[in-house]
Amino acid sequence: MKRRSGDRENRRKGKSLFPASPLPRFSGSRFSVPGFKAAGIACGIKKNNKKDLALIFSEAPATVAGLFTTNKIKAAPVLVDMQRIKKGVCHAVIINSGNANACTGKKGMTAAVKTVTLIEKALDIKKGLAMVSSTGVIGELLPVVNGIEKGIPKLIDALSEEGWDNAAKAIMTTDAFPKIAFEKGKIDGKEVSMLGIAKGAGMICPDMATMLAYIVTDAAVEQNALQNALKNAVNKSFNSITVDGDTSTNDTVLALANGKAGNRPVGSKQYAVSSKDYKTFCGMLEKVCLKLAHMIVRDGEGATKFLEIKVKGAKKEADAKNIALVIANSLLVKTAFFGEDANWGRIMAAIGRAGVDIIGEKISIYFNNTPVVKNGSGTSRDKEADKVIKKKDICLTVDLGMGKAGATVWTTDLTYEYVKINAAYRT
């Protein structure tokens, strides 16, 4: 197997090895949501003057919802945010990349608290209404005084309604490209905008991934409704992707709604939102999250293929998702796709070890629309399968033949380049 030439050089230069689908363009490639500003600058945490500090600011306190890593080892900023989000209101989010501020003990907690205190003071906002995120190398102390504190004045000066591209770049680590998604819709007769940025390329596995994601909207939404909508959207997106099976210490997804659109608040007792309007909001949120999640997978470290794993015919949705994730995380399956080897036996083996009650003789497997297994046995259509597996986008469908439930996850192949990127991560 020949290594894909130029992969390492492209990744080093920040080019995507497997470009995402073209991003939607708005107002001359610029994105904005009324009442929100963003910025991204270099403050010295990363080398070579790379952007490493971002800020999201709502002109008015915004309703906030959030979900955080399920890893038992949680970074200091995650612990700080898990307490602050209980207020249900957020005015600003400050994010640094290049340093995870994880496994740093009391000094790490002090650094996280000092960071939010500094940004609250600089923005002249109420104490307790700023949140903080970090991503990068684990185990190193966050340079607050010599990095973040010195960078805050420049960061605030850079705030702009159209600063999302810089903010998206500033939260990147091994990412090859910034990730931005945008949607518009109507709620209660008012035009509503929604924008999301995210980072992530490695250590990606539910729940959620080494990933940070921030979604802002000018819709008015009650906190409980926002939290429920975010949870459902994340389950269908960020919790349905995997690159390498590793779950991070720093995973964070935050959604902020400032109400500037002027609609009656979704979820309020005074306004029983119509089914249509509620579905519109949830649909917008799901689309933004799914777009970002797909970008993360497409930017998977060293990835050359985008794999959609569909499992149907299960007794329960949980069974289908479990099997899909076992297949998606199988090193043998992932390397087979990289090697363009239509080895369906590895998929069958993964299905069998997922711990789900199945009957092997009922299983069928398809590469795109080409059946490679029918009722538990090979179809001898290897030549057709070999053509499919050379494509960049591949849909692998597994029909268990046991019921009507199903689930879909997205993943990548596993390449030489993934090993090189992670072997040299700290250098």
Distance of CA 378 to the CA centre of its chain: 36
Helix axes 149-157, 105-123, angle to 10 degrees: 30
Instruction: Indicate which residue of 173, 174, 210, 242 is catalytic.
Output: 210
Contact between 250 and 77 (Cβ < 8 Å)? yes
- Strand-pair category, 405-412 with 130-137: unpaired
Per residue, the 3-state secondary structure of the chain, as one string, reads CCCCCCHHHHHHCCCCCCCCCCCCCCCCCCCCCCCEEEEEECCCCCCCCCCCEEEEEEEEEEEEEEEECCCCCCCHHHHHHHHHHHHCEEEEEEEEEEECCCCCHHHHHHHHHHHHHHHHHHHCCCCCCEEEEEEEECCCCCCHHHHHHHHHHHHHHCCECCCHHHHHHHCCCCCCCCEEEEEEEEECCEEEEEEEEEECCCCCCCCCCCCEEEEEECCCECHHHHHHHHHHHHHCCHHHECCCCCCCCCCEEEEEECCCCCCCCECCCCCCCCHHHHHHHHHHHHHHHHHHHHHHHHCCCCCCCEEEEEEEEECCHHHHHHHHHHHHHCHHHHHHHHCCCCCHHHHHHHHHCCCCCCCHHHCEEEECCEEEEECCEECCCHHHHHHHCCCCEEEEEEECCCCCEEEEEEEECCCHHHHHHHHCCCC
Q: How far apart are CA 12 and CA 67, in angstroms?
A: 32
**Residue 210 appears among annotated catalytic residues:** yes
| Active-site annotation, residues | 210
